[in-house]
Structure 1
Amino acid sequence: MTVSMFGFGRLSAEGKVGIASGVVFFSMLISRTLLSERVNKNTRASLFRVQFLLFINSLLLLGSLYIWKRVVRRLCGARGAPSVPQRCWRLLVLLFLTLVHGSYLCMFFLVDTEPHWLSLLSFSCLGVYVILLFFLFVFGCLIRLRRLLSRSRGGEEDAVASGSVSHIVLAMILTAILAVYGLVNAAQPPRVIEVEIPVEKLPESLNGLRLVLLSDIHLGPTVGRSKLQRIVTMVNELNPDVVVIVGDLTDSQVTRLKRAAEPLGQMKAQLGSYFATGNHDYYTADVEGWFDLLRSMGIQALHNSHAKVFRPEQTQDWICLAGIDDLEARMLRYPGHGMDVEKALSGCSAESPIILLAHQPHAAKQALQQRPDISLVLSGHTHAGQLFPLTILAFLMNPFFCGLYRVSEHTMVYVTPGTGHYGIPMRIASRSEITNIILKRA
C-alpha cells in the first residue's frame, strides 16, 4: 500500500506541510499526557524544544511558500533564465526566510545576558514576515474578488494581472513602513501610566497605596539585562509600596539568564514585591529554579497562595494579595502546578479586599466566576496585540484585552499591555507600560 493511494502524493506543498504541522501538534499533546510525569525536568525541556521548533517551523513553512510564490515568482516571472537582478532578489528573499525560520532556534541556543545580534536580526525578520504575510493575503483576496468580478463582466484579465503585481509592491512598501515604526516604538522606554482604582473595604490606612504592575517582560533572546535595568530604575523612581510581576518574566532557564535577571534584586518596594507565573514561565521547564532565584532577591512567588499586605504601624488592616498558577500549567502537566483559586484565597478574610494576580484574562474570568468577592484582578498576557495584525487575534481571543474593566459593582479587572515584548522587537498599535496603580477607598 503506497502513500499515493491515500492521495497524499497529489496534495500541494502547502497541504503536505499543513498535515505535518498537525502531526507534530498532536505529538506534543500526546507526549504531555503520557510522558510529563515520567521524565526529568531536563529531558522534558529538551523534548518541548524539539517539538516546539518542529511545529513552529512547519507553520512558518506554509507562510514562506506563500511569500515565495508572490514576491519571487510573481515579480520575477517563472519563464526563461533569470537575470542577474532577479537572481540577487531570489537570494535576498531566501536569506530573509532563512533568518525567519532560525528565529526560534535563537530562542533556545543564543540566549545570554544581553541579546545576540543574530537573535535581534532573526526576530526582526520574523516581525516583517508576519506583517508582509498579512498584507499579501489581504491583497490576494482583493485580487481574487476583482478577478471574479472581471470574469462576470468579460475581459480585463491583463489589467487584473498587472494589478496583482502592483498590490505585491504596495504590500512590501506598507510592510517596510510599519516594521520601521514598530522597531522604533519597541525600543522606547516603557511609558508610565497612573491609574486610580476604587476598592471596596479598603482600610483607611491603605488608602492611596501605590502598587506598580509589571508583566510580560520576557527576558530572553531580545530582552536582556540592560532593558531590565531600565525598567527597575523607572520602578524605583515611582517609590512604590508594592510591586507585582504578573507572569511571563522569562523565556529561558535560570542558568542562561541569571546575570540578566540581577537588576530585579535592586527593586525597592516598601511593603514587598510579588510574582505570579505566566504560560511562558512554564515553557522554560524551570519554574522552581526561577522561584528560588526570585526568593533570593526578596521577591515572593505566589504559587496558588496569598500574602497579607499591611503597613507596619497598622497590622490589623490588610489586603489579601493572591496569585494563581497560569492556566497552561495543568495543560502542560507541570508537576505540582495548576490554577487553584480556592487554595490561593484560603485564609483571606471576608472583611479585607482581595487582589488577585492572574496572568491570562481567561484565568481572570474563571476566577471571578468561582469567587465573585474578588475586588480587583490584575492580568497581562495580551501585550495589547503587540504587533499588528496580531492585535486583531488578541482582541478576539481574550475576554479582557487591555486597560481597566468594571466587571460588576464590586469588581474590576486591569490588563496591562506588558512591560517588554515577546521575541519580535516590535510594537505596532501598542506600547510597553509600567502601570502605577493608586488604590482608593470606594
Structure 2
Amino acid sequence: MRVSMFGFGRLSAEGKVGIASGVVFFSMLISRTLISERVDKSTRALLFRVQFLLFINCLLLLGSLYIWKRVVRRLCGVRASASPVPHRCWRIFVLLFLSCAHGSYLCMFFLVDTEPHWLSMLTFSCLGVYVILLFFLFVFGCLKRIGKLLSRSRSGEEVVAGGSASQTVLALLVTAILAVYGLVNAAQPPRVVEVEIPVEKLPESLNGLKLVLLSDIHLGPTVGRSKLQHVVTMVNELDPDVVVIVGDLTDSQVSRLRSAAEPLGQMKPRLGSFFATGNHDYYTADIEGWFEFLHTMGIESLHNNHAKVFRPEQAGDWICLAGIDDLEARMLRYPGHGMDVEKALSGCSAESPIILLAHQPQAAKQALQQRPDISLVLSGHTHAGQLFPLTILAFLMNPFFCGLYRVSEHSMVYVTPGTVYYGIPMRIFSHSEITNIILKRGKEN
C-alpha cells in the first residue's frame, strides 16, 4: 500500500528499471567521491566493477524490454498460449540472445585467459548485435511516428513506437547484415597506415625517424595472445626506430594475462618502446603490476615523465617523448596517479621537439592548452567509434575523433582508431590500425 501511495507500484517496468539505473549510477559517483585512498585498490576495483556490472545490466534491461516488445510481441502476438511452435521457438531464441548480451561483462570476471573463451566471443558478439538492433528498432520507430505527423494521418489506433511488423523485420535484416560485416571486418589484421608528420625543431639526425603507434589492444576476454603475436610480427616488419603504446593495453590483471602479453617482449625497435596509461588500464587496479611486467619486456612506462629519444651517434640531438596518466586516474582516486602535464614535461629542453602520449583526445586538448609548445600529441581511446551507432557518440564526445589534426601553427594531434578492439569483436565503419609515423623536419628548419 505504501509503495502504491508513492506511485512506484504504478510505474511501468521501464520506469522501475530506469530508477534502478539511476540509483546504481549515483552510488558509483558517491563511492568514487567518499571512499578514501586508505581503502586498498583491490577492494575499490571490485566495488567499481560490481557497480559497473549492475549499471550496465540495468541499462541493458531497459533495452531488452524495448527489444522484447518489438521483436517478440510485434511479430508473435501478445498471447503466448495462442502462438504456434515456431513463435514459441522464436521467443526462446530471443530470450537466450538477450541473456547472452546481459552476461557478456561477467566474462571480465571469470573468463579471462591466454586465449579468448568461446563463451566470451559469443556473449560479446550478442552484445554487438544487441546494440545495432536496438538502434535500428528505435530509429525506424521514430521515422514511422514522424511520417504519421507529417501526413497527419489518423488511421489506425494507438501504435507502439517500434512500428509495424515489416519495420521490425527490416531492422532485423539490417542488423544481421551489419553484424556479419562487423565480425568479418574485426577479424582482419590491422591495417598499416603510414603518416608523415612535420615536426618543428626536429634535428637533422632524427629526420625520417619511424615511430610505430599502437593503442587500445584491450587484452582480455575477447583478445588474447595470438592476436597480440600477429600485431608484434607486423610491427617488427616495419623495422621501427620507436614503438609507443598509448593506453588501454589490457582489461585485466597481470596474473591472468601474463602469458597473453608475453609477445610484447619480442618487439625490436632500435631506440626503445614506451607505454602511457589509458582508462581501462586503471580499471584493472593493477597498474603497478603492469608497469613491472612491461619493464621486464623492455618497455618503459611513462608515468607523468619523459624519455630522451636520440640516435647513439648523435646523443646531443633528441626528442622529448613524454607520457601522462589517463584522465580517469584521478577520478578513480588511484593513489599516486593523475594527469600532470607539467611534471611530465619538466626537464624537456625548449630547443627540442616535444611528443606527448595522452590516451584520451580530451587530455590532448587540455595538454595543448597548458603547453602550446608541444609539437605532437598521440592519442587513441575513440576506436573511431568501433561499432555503429556508437560512432556517433564517439564523434560527439571527443574534440579529436580519428586521424591527423593541426591544432595550431606549431602543434598537431594524431588519434589512432586502435590496434584491435574493445570487448565486442566487431568493427563497423572503422578499421584496426597500426600507424607508422614518419617524422619530418618542419618548415622553420
Coarse TM-score class (shorter-chain normalised): over 0.9
Question: 1:2: Cα distance to partner?
Answer: 2.0
1:77 maps to 2:98:
no
Residues 1:440 and 1:161: Cα distance change in structure 2 (over 3 Å): closer
For the residues of structure 1 that align with 2:249 and 2:399, how far apart are their CA atoms? 22
- Residues 146 and 160 of structure 1 are in contact (CA less than 8 Å); yes or no, is this contact kept in structure 2? no
Structure 1 counterpart of 2:68, which letter? W
Q: For 1:129, give the aligned amino acid.
A: Y
Q: In structure 1, what is the equivalent of residue 325 of structure 2? A: 325
The change in CA–CA distance for 1:311 and 1:136 in structure 2 (over 3 A counts) is: same
Instruction: Judge conservation of contact 2:138–2:161 (CA < 8 Å) in 1.
Output: no
Deviations 1:220-242 (A, max 9, x none): 00000000000000000001000
What SS class does the counterpart of residue 86 from structure 2 fall into? helix
Give a deviation string over 1:233-259, Cα, whole Å, max 9, x none. 000000100000000000001111000
Local SS of the residue matching 1:259: helix
Asked whether the 8 Å contact 1:143–1:160 carries over to 2, the reply is no
Which residue of 2 is the match for residue 357 of structure 1?
A: 357
2:129 maps to amino acid: V
Shift of 1:154: 3.8
Q: Counterpart in 1 of 2:144?
A: 143
Task: Give the aligned partner of residue 27 of structure 1.
Answer: 27
Match of residue 44 from structure 2: 44
Equivalent residues of 2:244, 2:275 under 8 A apart = yes
Residue 38 of structure 1: how far off its partner (Å): 2.5
Q: 3-state DSSP class of the match of 1:399?
A: coil
Task: State the alpha-carbon separation in 2 of the partners of residues 73 and 348 from structure 1.
Answer: 64
- Segments of structure 1 that go 5 or more residues without pairing to the other structure are none
Alpha-carbon distance in 2 for matches of 1:142, 1:404: 36
Instruction: Specify the code of the residue in structure 1 equivalent to 2:102.
Output: H
> What count of residue pairs does the alignment treat as equivalent?
441
Q: Which amino acid aligns with 1:311?
A: R
For 1:144-159, what aligned pairs fall within 5 Å after superposition?
Answer: 144-149=145-150, 152-155=152-155
2:24·2:54 contact (CA, 8 Å) conserved in 1?
A: yes
**What CA distance in whole angstroms lies between the structure 1 residues aligned with 2:39 and 2:100?**
33
Aligned partner letter, 1:268: K
> How big is the shift at 1:82?
1.8
Where do 1:167-186 residues align within 5 Å?
Answer: 167-186=167-186
Displacement of 1:436: 0.2
Q: In the alignment, which residue of structure 2 is the partner of 1:264?
A: 264
Structure 1 partner of 2:93:
92
User: Structure 1 residue 278: deviation in Å?
Assistant: 0.3
Tell me the distance in 2 between the aligned counterparts of 1:207 and 1:161. 59
The equivalent of 1:311 in structure 2 is 311
Secondary structure of the residue that 1:427 maps to in structure 2? coil
SS, match of residue 221 in structure 1: coil
Cα 1:161–1:26 change in 2 (3 A) is closer
Amino acid at match of 2:292: D
**For residues 411 and 106 of structure 1, do their structure 2 counterparts lie closer, same or farther at Cα, with a shift above 3 Å needed?**
same
- CA separation of 1:373 and 1:163: change in aligned 2, threshold 3 A: closer
**Which residue number in structure 2 is paired with residue 417 of structure 1?**
417
Sort the Cα spacing of 1:163 and 1:131 in 2 relative to 1 into closer, same or farther, 3 A: closer
Deviation at 1:155, TM superposition (A): 2.7
User: 1:4 deviation in Å?
Assistant: 2.5
Question: CA separation in 2, counterparts of 1:48 and 1:87?
Answer: 39
Secondary structure at the aligned position of 1:185 is classed as helix
Shift of 1:139: 0.4
The within-5 A match list for 1:163-312 is 164-312=164-312
The SS at the match of 1:4 is: helix
Amino acid at match of 1:48: F
Task: State the partner residue of 1:123.
Answer: 124
Q: Distance in 2 between matches of 1:67 and 1:140?
A: 12
Between the aligned partners of 2:130 and 2:109, the Cα distance in structure 1 is: 20
3-state SS in 2 of match to 1:213: strand
- 8 Å CA contact 2:356, 2:378 repeated in 1: yes
Aligned-residue Cα RMSD (Å) equals 1.6
Map Cα deviations across residues 411-441 of structure 1 (whole Å, 9 max, x no partner).
Answer: 1000000001000000000000000000000
- Once the two structures are TM-superposed, the CA of residue 161 in structure 1 deviates from its matched residue by 11
Q: Deviations over 1:342-400 (max 9, x none)?
A: 00000000000000000000000000000000000000000000000100111111100
Maintained 8 Å contact 2:253/2:286: yes
Cα deviation, residue 157, structure 1: 5.7
**Residue deviations 1:74-111 (CA, integer Å, cap 9, x gap):** 10011352211111000000000000000000111100
Question: Distance between the aligned counterparts of 2:19 and 2:161, measured in 1?
Answer: 31
Contact 1:147 1:160 survives alignment (8 Å): no
User: Sequence identity, in percent?
Assistant: 85
CA contact (8 A) 2:140 2:162 kept: no
Going from structure 1 to structure 2, the CA distance change for 1:36 and 1:187 (only over 3 Å counts) comes to: farther
AA aligned to 2:143 is: L
> Hey, what's the Cα distance between the residues in 1 that align with 2:93 and 2:222?
23
Find the aligned partners of 2:211 and 2:107 in 1 and give their Cα distance. Answer: 35
Matched letter for residue 293 of structure 1: F
Cα drift, residue 9 of structure 1? 1.5
Q: Deviations over 1:276-308 (max 9, x none)?
A: 000000011110010000011110000000000
Q: Residue 192 of structure 1: SS of its match in structure 2?
A: strand
Q: Residues 8, 157 of structure 1: CA spacing in aligned structure 2 closer, same or farther, 3 A cutoff?
A: closer
* SS of alignment partner, residue 258 of structure 1: helix
Please say which of residues 16-25 and 196-205 is displaced more in the overlay.
16-25
Q: Which consecutive aligned stretches of 4+ in structure 1 deviate over 4 angstroms post-superposition? A: 156-163
Q: Describe the shift of the 1:109–1:161 C-alpha distance in structure 2 as closer, same or farther (beyond 3 A).
A: closer
Give, as a single letter, the amino acid of the residue that structure 2 aligns with 1:145.
I
**TM-score where L is the length of structure 1:** 0.97
Aligned CA distance change for structure 1 residues 159 and 201 (closer, same or farther; 3 Å): closer
Q: 1:185 to 1:197 in 2, by over 3 A?
A: same
Give the counterpart letter for 2:233 in structure 1. T
Name the stretch that deviates more: 15-24 or 430-439: 15-24
SS of the residue corresponding to residue 164 of structure 2 reads helix
- Could you give the per-residue CA deviations for residues 140-162 of structure 1, whole angstroms, max 9, x where no partner exists? 11122234455x34435699999
Q: State the one-letter code of the partner of 1:64.
A: S
